[in-house]
Amino acid sequence: MKRSRWRVATEADVHLIVAESYKALEALGARPVQAAKFTTAVSELARNILKYADRGYIEFVELVEDNRVGMRAEVTDKGPGIADIELALADSYSSSGTLGLGLPGVRRLAHRFEIESEVGKGTRVLIEMWVR
């Protein structure tokens, strides 16, 4: 199983991760729409780290099962956490005046979406996308 872990602390980190994520999906044989969806989700989560938690990590794991392959991204930070996850997942809610479509959008883009957060401890989001 292939894994890679990336630090997210600057815009440049996000650029690198976005490019690598797209390449990794293509290497798995993903169609452009799958690569675009997964990478866009990764970009949303990485940017949320910069915006709300200052820094964190993204870990990619290639998923291989008998009859399908896919990619998982686990995005963690030790930032302020989210007090009301339901609210954060609602369309158009933003504590910073932006579109507020990141988390709900990521939830729609991914095949599997999990979020855990504790105020004062941090946030963990897991997404998966199956490509074939």
Partner 1 sequence: MSFTAMDLHSPDTASLLKVYGIGDAEIETLHAWKAHLEGGGFERVVADFYTWLQRQPEYEEFIDNPETERRLRRLQTTHLVSLVSGEFDDRYFSNRTRVGEVHARIGLPLHSYHGAMNHLCLCMLRQLPPDVDPLGATVTLLRVLHLDTALVALAYSRYANDRVAAQSKALLEMSTPVTEIWRGVLLLPIVGIIDSGRAQDIMTGALTKISSSRARVFIMDISGVAVVDTAVANYLIKVTRATRLMGCECIVSGVSPAIAETIVELGIDVGTIVTTGTLMQALVLAFDRVGLSVEQSGRAG
Ligand X SMILES: Nc1ncnc2c1ncn2[C@@H]1O[C@H](COP(=O)(O)OP(=O)(O)O)[C@@H](O)[C@H]1O
Binding to partner 1 (CB under 8 A) within 49-108 occurs at: 50, 54-55, 91, 98-99, 101-102, 104-105, 108
| CA 127/CA 20 separation, integer angstroms | 16
Picked from ligand X, Mg ion, partner 1, none, the partner binding residue 29 (CB below 5 to 8 A depending on kind) is: none
Picked from Mg ion, ligand X, partner 1, none, the partner binding residue 76 (CB below 5 to 8 A depending on kind) is: none
Query: Do the Cβ atoms of 61 and 1 come closer than 8 Å?
Result: yes
Judged by CB under 6 A, which of 25, 38, 48, 110 binds ligand X?
A: 48
Judged by CB under 6 A, which of 14, 24, 42, 103 binds ligand X?
A: 103
Q: Token match 């980190």: residue? A: 13
